[in-house]
Amino acid sequence: MGRAVLAAFTWDFGRSISTRQPIRGELPLYFRGTVELGFIAFVVAVCFGILAGILAAVKQDSFADHILRVVTLGGVAAPLFWITLMAQVLFYGSLNWFPAEGQLSDDVKVVSPLRRVSGFNLFDAVWAQN
């Protein structure tokens, strides 16, 4: 095994390029956001997959079925990093709906800070009905 693999088994992931701090110390800062993003992506994928499957089964061999095949096969075949970059171009660059990085952009004014129940921003906002 390589030296890097052995270091990873001891939780030594090296230093961050941007902050020069040990990565092990920065993992807790980004873990919640990563889990939250993964959960939301999973829910969206399951909902879209079920709806697309039902529509494709009901409209078998129709134009809608062929479009769904192209979209779903393209989504599976395309590299994830490319889909992510295109989503950033669309939702940040063109539509200006979401910040380019982080959970909140710098120009967002927080009117009432969230009461921390779970530590996940989305869940706490839903819990507070905000």
Burial of 121 (0-12, 13-18, 19+ CB in 10 A): middle
Greater confidence (41 vs 109) lies with 41
Judgement on whether residues 55 and 113 belong to the same structural domain of the protein:
no
Same domain, 122 and 96: yes
Out of 6-15, 26-35, 40-49, 104-113, give the one with best mean pLDDT.
40-49
Q: Where are the alpha helices (DSSP H) in the chain?
A: 3-9, 23-58, 63-77, 80-88, 121-127
One domain, residues 44 and 66: yes
What are the tokens at 69?
């095949």
pTM passes above 0.75: no
**Is 15 or 120 the better-scoring residue by pLDDT?**
15
Q: Are residues 73 and 88 in the same domain?
A: no
Question: Do 102 and 121 reside in the same domain of the chain?
Answer: yes
Q: How many structural domains comprise the chain?
A: 2
Q: Which residue has the higher pLDDT, 98 or 113?
A: 98
Same domain, 8 and 38: yes
- Specify whether 11 is located in the same domain as 73: yes
Q: Looking at the structure, do residues 37 and 20 belong to the same domain, yes or no?
A: yes
User: Which range of residues forms the domain containing residue 66?
Assistant: 1-77
CA distance 130 to 126: 6
Please check whether residues 69 and 19 belong to one and the same domain: yes
Alpha-carbon distances, residue 29 vs 44, 90, 94, 106, 126 (angstroms)? 25, 27, 29, 18, 21
Check residue 104 and give its pLDDT: 57
Clarify whether residues 62 and 123 are in a common domain. Answer: no
Residues 106 and 73 in one domain: no
> How far apart, in whole angstroms, are the C-alpha atoms of residue 79 and residue 19?
28
